[in-house]
Amino acid sequence: MSHLEGKVALVTGSSRGIGQAIARRLAEDGADVVVHGRNPKGPTAAGAEVFRDEVRGFGRKAEVFFADLTDKDAVGRLVGEVETAFGRLDVLVLNAARAPFKETTRLFERDLRMLVETNFMAPVFCVQKALPLLEVAGGDIVFISSLGSRFMNPQYPLGPMKAAMESMTRQWAEELGPQGIRANAVCAGLVKTDAYKTLRRLWPGLEQLPEELFVTPEEVAGVVSFLTRPDASAIRGQTIVADRGLSNRILRGP
Ligand SMILES: NC(=O)c1ccc[n+]([C@@H]2O[C@H](COP(=O)([O-])OP(=O)(O)OC[C@H]3O[C@@H](n4cnc5c(N)ncnc54)[C@H](OP(=O)(O)O)[C@@H]3O)[C@@H](O)[C@H]2O)c1
C-alpha cells in the first residue's frame, strides 16, 4: 500500500480544496509532503498549517511553504526550500489554479495576464525549477486539468489554459521521458470546492445536476495516487478523465 514510502511529494495549491486531498492521499501512500499555498498572510494560510500538522500525525514529514507561482524567482526559492528541508523531490503535482469567471471578450488585460501567468506560465516555471530534483529521483509530474479543456463554458476562460496544459503534459512526457520522468494529467469533473461556489452562480442548471455526477476531491486524489504507482508505468503524456461519466452524457442535459 505504501508505494511512496521514503519519497517526497510537492502538491501546489494544497492549502485547501482538491490539492489538500491529493496531498493527504500521497501522505497515506507513504510520502513526505510539501504543503503549498500562495500567500502566508492569506485566509487559507492557517488551514495549511493545521493540515501540515494532520500529515505529521500520520508519521510523515510535512512542511508548509508559501510562494506565488507566477513569480519565477519565488518558484526557485520554493524548490530550494524543498531541497533544504527534504533533500529530494519525487512527485510534483501541478494543482494550483486561479482564474476570472467571465467571457474572454470581457477580460481586462490584468485578468488575461493573471489567467496565463497562473495557469500556464506558473506550472512551466515549477517544472523548470524542479527538474534537477525530479531527474535525480526519476520522478512523476501530474497536472490537474478540468473538463473546460474540452467543453466550452462561456464564463470559464480557464478552459483554454487547461487544454494548453494537457498538450504541455504530452510535451513533457516526450521531453523528460529520457530522464526517467513521467508526466500525466487528471481531468477532473465537477468538484464542490471554493471554486464551485462561484461556478454555480454562473452556470445555469448546475445545481440541478444529480449529486452522483459530482466527483469528490478524494476521487481525484485516488487517480493521482494511481498515476504515481509503478503499475502506471506504461501511461505517459496522457490525461485521465475522472468525471463520474458527466462528459458521456453531455447531450442528455441535467
Ligand atoms: N473545483 C472543481 O470543480 C474543479 C474541477 C476540475 C478541475 N479542478 C482543478 O483542480 C485544481 C484545484 O481546484 P480547487 O477547486 O481545489 O481550487 P481552490 O480551492 O480554488 O484552491 C486553489 C489553490 O491554488 C492556490 N493558488 C492559486 N493561485 C496561486 C498562485 N498564483 N501561486 C500559488 N498558489 C496559488 C491557492 O492558494 P491560496 O489558498 O493561498 O489562495 C489554493 O491552494 C485546479 O487546477 C482546478 O482547475 C477543479
Task: Give the CATH number of the domain where residue 138 resides.
Answer: 3.40.50.720
CA of 174 to the centre of ligand 1 (A): 26
Nearest CA to ligand 1 atom 44: 97
Residues 151 and 247 sit within 8 Å (Cβ to Cβ): yes
Q: What is the pLDDT of residues 126-141, one digit of tens each?
A: 999 999 999 999 999 9
Cα 182 to Cα 122: distance, rounded to the nearest angstrom: 19
Q: Atom of ligand 1 at shortest distance to CA of 68? A: 32
pLDDT at 254 over 80: no
Is 250 part of a structural domain of the chain?
no
Q: Is residue 254 part of a domain?
A: no
Q: Which atom of ligand 1 is nearest to the CA of 44?
A: 39
Q: Is 15 in the pocket of ligand 1 (CB under 6 A)?
A: yes
Calculate what percentage of the chain has a pLDDT beyond 70: 98
Domain membership of residue 240 (yes or no) is yes
Residues 69-89 pLDDT 10s: 999 999 999 999 999 999 999
Residue 1 resides in a domain? no
Q: Scanning the structure block, which residue is given the C-alpha cell 487528471?
A: 186
Residue type for position 145: S
Tens digits of per-residue pLDDT, 12-46? Answer: 999 999 999 999 999 999 999 999 999 999 899 99
Structural domain includes residue 68: yes
State the total domains in the chain.
1
* Distance from C-alpha of 249 to C-alpha of 246, rounded to nearest angstrom: 6
Query: Which domain does 190 fall in, by range?
Result: 8-244
- pTM higher than the cut 0.95: yes
Dihedral pair phi/psi, residue 83, rounded to 5°: -65, -40
